[in-house]
Structure formats: structure tokens, C-alpha cells
Amino acid sequence: MPLPQNREVPSLDDHALSRGFRRIVSGDPQGRPAWVRALEEGDDEGLYGPGSAPWVVHGSLTTLVGGIRALLLQALHPAALAGVRQHSRYREDALGRLAGTTRWLVTLTFGDSAAVERESARVRLMHGRVRGTWSSPDQPDVERTYAADDPHLLRWVHLAFTESFLVTHQIWGGAIPGGADGYVADWARAAEPLGLADPPRSAAELAEQLRSFDHELAGGSAAREVVRFILNPPLPLVTRPAYAVLAAGAVSTMRPEHRRMLGLPWVPGLAARPATGALLGAMRLALGDSSPSEQAARTRLDRLASLDPDWAVLGD
């Protein structure tokens, strides 16, 4: 499967790139849809707060690479893949699906407790509708059932997101409060409202649980079809060269056996990773150090602190 092999960082028009990527990940031309503005409201910190590992990792542009990697990794599980192909409008509304995933990630990271519960309820309702059958590539005549709210499948999706955001931030981001263990333990709390009772709480547990899925993973034509779309989505022209660099960076971090199953070429890290790092650095200059979502959350916390100075000490 061909993968764009951009070795050089695309030239950047700061304003065009800013508008393009904010529109892609949020679904809003200004990067501030109603659900982002709503993060200014609320009565507490929510699951996390400034200085927490999820604020640092999910507030970083490395999530652009981590998100691509997570989608590629998730496609390796035939049941998860069947759910995407049978229930998702990823071809007709790829950017809308991305905006929905971004909404979940951002709200659970930066929202207050009420927003976290509302968003978790929205996702649980969506998961409750996603059911069907799937067949593995090596046993195409054997049908099995799946449900998106099955804890086993929820675990796979959580593991793919957690590892992908962690790995990409370790390569292209800064220090993480509490290190890898701190991030895995903190982000585990976001999986519990979706029905996952015992997510991994350390980097070692994350690796162990990922390995436990090895015998369930497969490639095949269906997975490769979805992967082709992930690598070549219908993006605005101004963002396509940059996306090609981010995608190459994401592929360079994947395990060789996973790349082979998905038909992905070997992408030398010595070429892809510096280019990805340079691009992310240029984008930070264009977009600023904090996202609109983090800014909205800080507005909420500043308001709460102004109402109760003692709360600022507890919430710091």
C-alpha cells in the first residue's frame, strides 16, 4: 500500500493551516464549536486539571499523530473494524466522525463533571446501537456477533487510543507529569464512565493488555480498505501535504507485525520522525501553545477561583 513519503516539511501559511486543521478536528471553521465554548461553563475541574498528564498530552499537537495511529491500530481487530464499516459514515462524513471523536476526547479531558457525564452518556447511547456480526479473514464463513459496548471491545479501543497518544507524545512532545505511568493511570478514569471496569493503570499493564489481544488481530482486504481511507481522507487541499507527513510519522511508530498485517510499508524513522517533529513545531508557532478547548477550561477555572479563592488552592 503506497504511503506518502514526504521527507521535507511542507511550506506553511500560518492562517490557512490554522483554519484548516481546526476545521478538521473540531468540525467548526473557527475551531470553537458550541461544545468547546460550553467548556467555559461548569462548577468544578472535572476528571483532571491544569498540570495533569491528560491536560499535557491531549493539549499537545502530538494528538494529531496519535489519532492517526490509533485509527490504524484499531483497524487490526476484526470486530472493531466491522463496527466501523457497518455503522460508521466514515466515507460520507469522515470529518464529522473525526469531530465526534475529538469532542469525546476534549470533553473528558477539559470538561467539568457534568459535561463529562453528559458526553459519556452520549457515547454510551451511540455504542448501544452498534451491533452486528463479523468474520475473521482466516474463517470467512464463521460469523460472530459484536457489540460496541462489550467490555472486551471497549478495552481494545481504549488500549489503542492510550498507547497511541502516549507513544506519539513521548517521541514528539515534552515531559509528562508522572511519566508514562501517570498518564496511563489518569486516562484510565476516562474509560470507566463508558463501562470499562478495569483499564490498565501503568505502562506495564498497558503493554501486557495489548499483548493479550495479539491472537485476535488480523489484516485482510477489509482492514486495508479502511487503512487506505485513513491515509488518504478527503481533506482540504491546504492540509494534505502536512497530513502526509503526520501519517508517515504515525506509521513509523507502529510495530512491524502490525504494519505487515495492514499492508503498510516500512517508513524509516530517521526520515519520518524529524520531518514530523519539524512540522509539529511549525504548527505550534502557527496555532499557539494552547488549544481553544484548554483556553475555555482555563476560563472556567479562573471564574471559579474568582468566586472562591480557597477553591483555587484545592484546584491547583
Does residue 127 fall inside a structural domain? yes
Please report the pLDDT score of residue 156 as a whole number: 96
Cα separation, 44 vs 297, whole angstroms: 10
Q: What share of the chain is helix, strand, coil (3-state, %, to 5)?
A: 65, 5, 30
Query: What is the maximum span of the chain, computed from C-alpha positions, in angstroms?
Result: 65
Please report the pLDDT score of residue 97 as a whole number: 63
Half-sphere exposure of 313 (CA within 13 A, CB side): 3
Nine-digit cell string for 266: 516500512
Measured from the Cβ of residue 13, the count of other Cβ atoms closer than 10 Å reads 12
Please report the pLDDT score of residue 251 as a whole number: 95
Does residue 39 fall inside a structural domain? yes
| Total-model pTM | 0.88
The residues near 5 (Cβ < 8 Å, ≥ 6 apart) are 248, 267, 271
Does residue 275 fall inside a structural domain? yes
In tens, the pLDDT along 50-59 reads 989 999 999 9
Please report the pLDDT score of residue 233 as a whole number: 86
Does residue 8 fall inside a structural domain? no
Stated as kind and residue range, the H or E segment containing 124 is helix 113-129
Please report the pLDDT score of residue 32 as a whole number: 64
In tens, the pLDDT along 238-293 reads 788 888 999 999 999 999 999 999 999 887 767 899 999 999 998 888 777 788 89
Does residue 4 fall inside a structural domain? no
Cα of first residue to Cα of last residue in the chain, in angstroms, is 48
CB 147 within 8 A of CB 168: no
33 Ramachandran zone, left/alpha/beta (phi>0; psi -120 to 50): beta
Cα separation, 124 vs 113, whole angstroms: 16
CB 116 within 8 A of CB 256: no
Angle at 166 between CA 209 and CA 20, to 5 degrees: 130
Eight-class DSSP state of 136: E
Cα separation, 297 vs 315, whole angstroms: 13
Does residue 234 fall inside a structural domain? yes
Please report the pLDDT score of residue 268 as a whole number: 73
The count of domains in the chain is 1
Q: What is the pLDDT along the chain (316 residues), one digit of tens a residue?
A: 445 444 455 554 544 555 556 556 655 555 568 888 899 999 999 999 998 999 999 999 999 999 999 999 999 999 999 888 887 766 655 555 667 788 899 999 999 999 999 999 999 998 888 899 887 777 777 788 988 899 999 999 999 999 999 999 999 999 999 999 999 999 999 999 999 989 999 999 999 999 999 999 998 888 998 899 889 888 878 788 888 999 999 999 999 999 999 999 887 767 899 999 999 998 888 777 788 899 999 999 999 998 887 665 444 4
Picking from 108, 121, 122, the residue whose alpha carbon sits closest to that of residue 45 is 108
Does residue 251 fall inside a structural domain? yes
Burial of 307 (0-12, 13-18, 19+ CB in 10 A): exposed
In tens, the pLDDT along 107-129 reads 999 999 999 999 999 999 988 88
To 10 degrees, what angle do helices 269-287 and 240-252 make?
130
Cα separation, 154 vs 199, whole angstroms: 10
Cα separation, 180 vs 201, whole angstroms: 10
The domain of 18 spans 14-315
Does residue 3 fall inside a structural domain? no
Stated as kind and residue range, the H or E segment containing 144 is strand 139-147
Please report the pLDDT score of residue 14 as a whole number: 46
